[in-house]
């Protein structure tokens, strides 16, 4: 027999359900009763329930993204994590007594149901790791968020993305350079990523709005807590052509440790990160560390030797941790951003598809054609991302890319990136 029976109302895909679940520590099962169609399904049969359980894990205190993926990988699903007993959980590598007991309490379930409904009411979108809408650039990262919250109108998987970061204490020089960078980026139409903070961040966002370039602000708080509050107007305007992104629950307030976590998302979403101005120990340097760990390109704007807000950039250039930024066009040439859509003398047939245009390359093997098709759509791709999207082992992929380089079809760029010549 089950113990105490709990119930709550949940709205999923415009239907209203009543969810019954047990509060027993040894077993967990929910039944969704559809109030509109008078039908019910067990939680084990509902795709939405897996997401709800994932959200419950995210809402469980003391459990981070890496641990959650470890749990799901070992148990098979988020639902099965909550159905596991103490003996099973404690055997999972990295899961100790404290984490196991937190999961068995199931405190995150009620919070997940409340959060889900609040997202629906507020118009916030949820992107789970297994969703097609989840950013491809993050999927290959070991510490990627299990899920993201967002508001706005943008595509995570834009062909080109660039992060613009820097000091909160921006100088007139830094402001001028930031605005110039955004203006010169317009022909390349990238998704511009920054952190909605004072200084370089907000200057970049506002310049994007001025030049109608899509921009997203990655937040260290929840979507309901715009920080700093003085940027609320800009945050609202960004949602018409861009938006807001966070891994934090809707009403989360920013604290010190959430900013480095925010910086890793900026680095992960960006093919390139440009540091405009930074002090010697500025927070932007944390973003640079993440970008380097993710094998992403980093550029730094050189500054006045006597300006403390340029010490960080000058140091990055001196230590060969960043390429020197001189202009958008030179940067684009260095990383393979090409405005001329060359066909490379390949016989390409465009096939109309309901979701996207697939490309057929005659005269190449199936695997080579798959690689060329991906590079054609994306422009240039990092080796790890290309491996993930093609489902090819890195060793096999490296061999194929080398052969295509010998044929003069593919070119390698710094940072383990590849693109069509």
> What stretch(es) of the chain map to CATH 1.10.10.10?
348-420
Q: Which CATH number does 5-122 carry?
A: 1.10.150.20
d(CA 303, CA 393): 42
Whether pTM exceeds 0.75: no
Q: Tell me the three state secondary structure of residue 380.
A: strand
Q: Are 82 and 109 in contact (CB under 8 A)?
A: yes
Whole-angstrom Cα Rg for the chain: 23
DSSP code of 274?
Answer: E
pLDDT over threshold 80, residue 136? yes
Distances (CA, A) of 209 to 116, 179, 273: 30, 11, 19
**For the residues of 377-421, what is the DSSP string, one character each?**
HHSEEEHHHHHHHHT--HHHHHHHHHHHHHTTSEEEETTTEEEE-
Which residue intervals of the chain bear CATH 3.40.50.450? 136-335
Which pLDDT score is estimated for 324? 96
Of the pLDDT bands very low, low, confident and very high (cuts 50, 70, 90), residue 168 is very high
> CB–CB of 286/263 below 8 Å?
yes
The pLDDT, as a whole number, for residue 47 is: 60
d(CA 320, CA 342): 32
Question: What per-residue confidence (pLDDT) applies to 347?
Answer: 35
Fold for 348-420, please state it: Arc Repressor Mutant, subunit A (1.10.10)
* pLDDT for 37: 34
What would the DSSP string read from start to end of 71-82? HHHHHSSHHHHH
Cβ–Cβ < 8 Å for 81, 140: no
Model pLDDT, residue 243: 97
DSSP state of 304: -
* Domain ranges in the chain with CATH number 1.10.150.20: 5-122
pLDDT digits (tens, 9 = 90+) for 198-219: 999 999 999 999 999 999 999 9
Omega before 106 within 30 of 0, i.e. cis:
no
User: Topology of 136-335 in CATH?
Assistant: Rossmann fold (3.40.50)
Rounded-to-integer distance, Cα 82 and Cα 68, Å? 12
How many residues are listed for the chain in this entry? 421
Which of the two residues, 60 and 197, has the higher pLDDT score?
197
**pLDDT score for 16:** 43
pLDDT at 139: 84
For 186, which DSSP code? G
Tens digits of residue pLDDT in 241-292: 999 999 999 999 999 889 999 999 999 999 999 999 999 988 899 999 999 9
Mean of all residue pLDDT scores within the chain: 83
pLDDT band at 46 (very low <50, low <70, confident <90, very high): low
- Express each pLDDT in 335-370 by its tens digit: 888 776 433 333 333 333 333 334 445 567 778 888
Residue bearing the bigger pLDDT, 101 or 108? 101
pLDDT in tens, 106-132: 878 888 999 999 999 999 999 998 888
């Amino acid at each position: 027999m089950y113990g105490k029976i709990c119930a709550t109302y949940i709205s999923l895909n415009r239907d209203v359900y009543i969810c019954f679940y047990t509060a027993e520590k040894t077993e967990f099962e929910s039944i969704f009763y559809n109030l509109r169609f008078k039908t019910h399904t067990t939680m084990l049969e509902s795709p939405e329930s897996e997401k709800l359980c994932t959200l419950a894990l995210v809402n469980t205190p003391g459990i981070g993204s890496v641990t959650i993926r470890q749990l799901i990988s070992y148990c098979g699903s988020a639902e099965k994590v909550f159905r596991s007993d103490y003996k099973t959980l404690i055997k999972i590598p990295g899961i100790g007594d404290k984490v196991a007991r937190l999961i068995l309490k199931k405190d995150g379930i009620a919070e997940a149901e409340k959060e889900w409904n609040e997202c629906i009411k507020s118009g916030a979108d949820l992107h789970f790791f297994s969703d097609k809408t989840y950013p491809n650039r993050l999927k290959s990262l070991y510490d990627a968020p299990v899920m993201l919250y967002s508001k706005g109108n943008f595509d995570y998987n834009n062909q080109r993305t660039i992060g613009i970061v820097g000091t909160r204490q921006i100088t007139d020089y830094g402001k001028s350079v930031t605005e110039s960078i955004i203006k010169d980026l317009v022909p390349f139409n990238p998704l511009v990523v920054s952190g909605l903070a004072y200084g370089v961040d907000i200057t970049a966002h506002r310049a994007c709005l001025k030049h109608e370039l899509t921009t997203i602000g990655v937040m260290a708080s929840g979507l309901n807590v715009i920080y700093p509050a003085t940027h609320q107007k800009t945050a609202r305007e960004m949602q018409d052509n861009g938006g807001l992104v966070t891994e934090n629950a809707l009403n989360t307030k920013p604290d010190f440790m959430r900013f480095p976590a925010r910086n890793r998302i900026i680095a992960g979403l960006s093919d390139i990160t440009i540091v405009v101005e930074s002090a010697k120990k500025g927070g932007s340097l944390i973003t640079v560390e993440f970008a380097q760990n993710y094998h992403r390109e980093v550029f730094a704007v050189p500054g006045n030797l006597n300006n403390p807000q340029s010490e960080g950039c000058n140091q990055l250039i001196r230590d060969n941790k960043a390429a020197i930024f001189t202009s958008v066009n030179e940067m684009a040439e260095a990383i393979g951003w090409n405005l001329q859509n060359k066909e490379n003398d390949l016989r390409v047939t465009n096939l109309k598809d309901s979701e996207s245009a697939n490309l057929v390359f005659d005269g190449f093997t199936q695997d080579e054609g798959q690689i060329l098709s991906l590079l054609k759509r994306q422009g240039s791709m990092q080796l790890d991302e290309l491996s993930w999207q093609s489902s090819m082992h890195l060793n096999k992929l490296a061999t194929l890319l080398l052969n295509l380089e010998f044929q003069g079809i593919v070119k390698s760029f710094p940072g383990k990136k590849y693109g069509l010549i």
